[in-house]
Amino acid sequence: MRTRIRYFGALTFLAILGEIGCGRVERGPALYSIVASNGAPAGTPRMIAGAETATEIRIDPQVLAAEPPALSLPLSDGRTLSATRDRIATAPRTVSWIGTVTGKPGNPGLVQIISHANGTSAIVSAGDERYEIHPKGTDGSILFKMKSGGAAGASIVASAPQQQQATMTTVCTTPITPGEIVTLDVLALYSEELLGDEPAVLAFIDSSIAVANAVFFNSGVPAQYRLIDARPLTGSQPPAGQPIGGVEYRLGAAVSWLAADPMEVVALRDSYGADVVTLFLPLPEPGTDPEACSGGLIALKTPDFAERAYSVHRKGCGLGDFSLAHALGANFGMRHTAQEAADPNSLFSFAAGYDFPAGPNSGLTTVMGCQRTVGDITGAVCNRIAEFSTPKASWNGVPAGDANHRNADVAITQAPCYAAFRSTQTDGVPVVRISSPARRAAVPASSFRASATALDPEDGDLSARIAWSSDREGNLGLVGSSVEVTLLMGGPHILTATVADKAARRLLPVEPDYAVVAAPDRFLVGYGLDYRGRYRNLPDLWAVDGDDLVDRPDRHVTALYGRAGSDGGTLAR
C-alpha cells in the first residue's frame, strides 16, 4: 500500500548514529531498576540466542512516557550507560525512543527503546558491547548482555524452487514521489509451537518491525513497514528442524515450505492484502544451536515475488543484529557481497553489503553483511550498523558504501512496486482461538467447560458470538466464549469454535479449532444463533431480514425446517 503523508524537514541520515563528543555527559532518569542478575551460560531457559548474562529488571513506564531528552541505563556490573535522545519514532503498534550512547569511547553507540502493547524492548550498542532488553510478561523484563565474536545474527537466503518460478521479476520503474513515505504491509505468522508464549512472541515481532523501520530511516529510504497483524498458523506447519552436530537446521526447509504457497498462508496473505509475509519459529531446545537467525526468498531475475515475498525468523534471535531487516532486504533483491551482486541473476550489480575498511570502523559492516569470527554460532552478532550500504550516509565520518555497494538504493527503487503487490484490506479475518480444552487434548469426561476468544480487526471482540459444534454431534446449540459442553456420544470428538465475519465475504479453510464463516451484513440465525429462541438448532447458518422477524418470529420456520410451504420473506444460506 502507498500512503502519502506530510514529511517534516530534510531527511537526516545520521539521526540515530551521532558522533560521540568529549563534552560533559548528560545523565537522565534511569529507565529501569535492577531486580536480580543471572550469570548462567547461554542455552539455559532464561537466556536467548547469543546472550552471555541475563539481568532481571523492572522498567518504569512513566519515565519513557515523558520522552526525556536523556536516559540512564544501569548495568549489572555497577556501571551506568548514558544516552541522549535523537528522536521519537511513532509507528503502528509501537513508539520508539531513539538515541546515542554518550561518553563511551570507540564506535558511536545506538540506543533504540521500543514501547508496545506487550511491554518494552530495546537494543543497545555501546562501543564493543551489545545489550538487548526483552519483556517477560507481567513479571518485568530481562536485560541480556550479548557475547562478542561468533555469528548469532547470520542469516541464510534461499531462492524459490525453479518449478515455482512463474514470471520474470523486473526492476521497479515507479518512482517515489518527493515527500511520500511508501508503506509496505507485513503479515507476521508464527508456528503452533509458540502458542504458549504469545506475549513474548508478539513483543519480539513488534520490536523487530520497529528496528527494521529504523534501518530504513537511517539509510535514507522513504519507506516503512506496517505490521497489519500477527497470528498463529493453525493448519499445516513448517517442517521440523534437523539437528546435525549440535546445530538445528530448519530455516532453509521453512523458506522452501513457504515458497510452495501453503493454503492457509496464501489465504491469510490475500485476505489482509499483505505485501510481505514473515514466519516466526522457536529457537531449538537448550544445548542445540540454530544455524542462523533468519532467512528469506531472494528476489532474482526469475521468481514471481508478487506471490512469494516470504521470510522466516527465529523468535528471540538477532534483534540487535537487525536480522529481520536483513531477511526482508533479501526480498528486495539485496545481496550479501559484491561477488553475489555480480551474479547474472542478480537484479542489481550494486546490491552488496559494505564491510568497512581498516580505520575507525574496522570490523563493522552494514545490514546485509556479516563480519563474524569463528566461534559459537549463537554467540554474538555480525557487527552490523543500523544502515543498508549507501555512500550517502556515514558512520564515524566514514561513508557506509560506495558506487558498488548501494543496498539502500535497491530499497528505494523496489519499495513502490512491492507496496503495490496487494491493496490493503479493511475487512480482516477474525482470529478464533480455543483456550480450553488445550489443542489436541484428550478430555475423558463427557461434560466439560470449553473456552475460546474471537477477535476481529474491525469489530473487536466477537467472543460472545462464538458457536460450538462437534464433528460427531453437529451443532451443540451453545453460543459464547465459555460454555459447558455435554457430549452424548462416546468416543473421540473434534470440537469446533466458529464465528461469522460479516465484512470479509470469503471463506478461509483452516483446522477445526480455527473456523471462520463469511456472511453478508444481515441478521444471522442457525448454528447456535437464534431469534427469541427460534432457529438455534438449525444445522446451517442463514441470513434473514431482521425486520421480517420482529412482528412474526415464526415467519421462516416452515422454510428452514424443511416443512411444506413457505411464509415468504428473504433468505440466504
Distance CA 264, CA 262 (A): 6
The reported pLDDT for the residue numbered 523 is 74
Distance CA 269, CA 328 (A): 16
- How does residue 69 score in pLDDT terms, banded at 50, 70 and 90? very high
Model confidence pLDDT, tens digit, residues 289-342 = 888 889 998 888 865 555 678 999 999 888 888 999 999 999 999 999 999 999
Distance CA 556, CA 539 (A): 15
The answer to whether 159 and 77 are in contact (CB under 8 A) is no
C-alpha cell at 297: 526468498
The reported pLDDT for the residue numbered 325 is 95
C-alpha cell at 158: 534461499
- CA dist 172 → 68, 164, 347, 404, 432 (Å): 41, 21, 10, 19, 38
DSSP of 136-160: -GGG-EEEEEEPSSS-TT-EEEE--
Distance CA 560, CA 571 (A): 9
Distance CA 40, CA 50 (A): 13
Mean pLDDT within 247-269: 90
The reported pLDDT for the residue numbered 138 is 59
DSSP 209: H
The answer to whether 57 and 140 are in contact (CB under 8 A) is yes
Listed in sequence order, the residues at least 6 apart from 240 whose beta carbon sits closer than 8 Å to its beta carbon are 250
The reported pLDDT for the residue numbered 190 is 96
Model confidence pLDDT, tens digit, residues 178-206 = 889 999 999 999 999 998 788 889 889 99
Neighbours of 423 (CB within 10 A): 11
**∠19-24-30 over CA atoms, to 5°?**
90
Specify the range with the lowest mean pLDDT, choosing from 71-80, 99-108, 156-165. Answer: 156-165
C-alpha cell at 547: 425486520
On the question of pLDDT at 379 being above 60, the answer is no
Distance CA 25, CA 105 (A): 12
Specify the 3-state DSSP secondary structure of 403.
coil
**Residue in 110, 305, 360 with CA at minimum distance from that of residue 215:** 110
The reported pLDDT for the residue numbered 17 is 28
The reported pLDDT for the residue numbered 566 is 38
- How does residue 353 score in pLDDT terms, banded at 50, 70 and 90? very high
The answer to whether 143 and 54 are in contact (CB under 8 A) is yes
Hey, which of 83-97, 242-256, 550-564 has the most confident mean pLDDT?
Answer: 242-256
Which has the higher per-residue pLDDT, 107 or 3? 107
- Give me the helix-helix angle, 323-332 and 198-218, nearest 10°: 60
The reported pLDDT for the residue numbered 155 is 45
Percent of the chain with pLDDT over 70: 73
Mean pLDDT within 79-85: 91
- How does residue 161 score in pLDDT terms, banded at 50, 70 and 90? very low
The reported pLDDT for the residue numbered 216 is 94
Burial of 490 (0-12, 13-18, 19+ CB in 10 A): exposed
Distance CA 560, CA 278 (A): 44
Query: Distance between the two ends of the chain, CA-based, in angstroms?
Result: 34
Mean pLDDT within 451-474: 80
Hey, which of 9-23, 258-272, 400-414, 451-465 has the most confident mean pLDDT?
Answer: 400-414
Distance CA 479, CA 497 (A): 9
Which has the higher per-residue pLDDT, 19 or 68? 68
Listed in sequence order, the residues at least 6 apart from 529 whose beta carbon sits closer than 8 Å to its beta carbon are 465, 467, 479, 500, 535, 536, 541
Instruction: Report phi then psi at 195, rounded to 5.
Output: -60, -35
Distance CA 181, CA 365 (A): 26
Model confidence pLDDT, tens digit, residues 17-32 = 222 233 344 578 999 9
Model confidence pLDDT, tens digit, residues 83-106 = 999 888 877 677 889 888 876 655
**Residue in 141, 152, 241, 251 with CA at minimum distance from that of residue 199:** 141
- Give me the helix-helix angle, 407-419 and 323-332, nearest 10°: 70
- CA dist 537 → 168, 469, 519, 528 (Å): 53, 11, 18, 6
The reported pLDDT for the residue numbered 305 is 59
- How does residue 139 score in pLDDT terms, banded at 50, 70 and 90? low
Hey, which of 77-91, 191-205, 210-224, 232-246 has the most confident mean pLDDT?
Answer: 210-224
The reported pLDDT for the residue numbered 458 is 64
C-alpha cell at 428: 480482516
| pTM of the complete model beyond 0.85 | no
C-alpha cell at 210: 520497529
Distance CA 368, CA 559 (A): 64
Which has the higher per-residue pLDDT, 411 or 247? 411
Model confidence pLDDT, tens digit, residues 491-501 = 777 788 887 65
- How does residue 37 score in pLDDT terms, banded at 50, 70 and 90? low
The reported pLDDT for the residue numbered 347 is 93
The reported pLDDT for the residue numbered 303 is 56
Q: What is the mean pLDDT of the chain?
A: 77
C-alpha cell at 510: 483452516
The alpha carbon dihedral of 118, 456, 209, 287 has a sign of positive
Mean pLDDT within 251-256: 92
On the question of pLDDT at 551 being above 90, the answer is no
DSSP 355: B
Beta-bridge partners for 278: 188, 311
On the question of pLDDT at 42 being above 50, the answer is no
DSSP 365: B
The reported pLDDT for the residue numbered 162 is 31
The reported pLDDT for the residue numbered 521 is 61
**Residue in 526, 524, 532, 523 with CA at minimum distance from that of residue 553:** 532
Percent of the chain with pLDDT over 90: 27
C-alpha cell at 385: 550498523
Neighbours of 62 (CB within 10 A): 8
The reported pLDDT for the residue numbered 222 is 94
Mean pLDDT within 429-458: 77
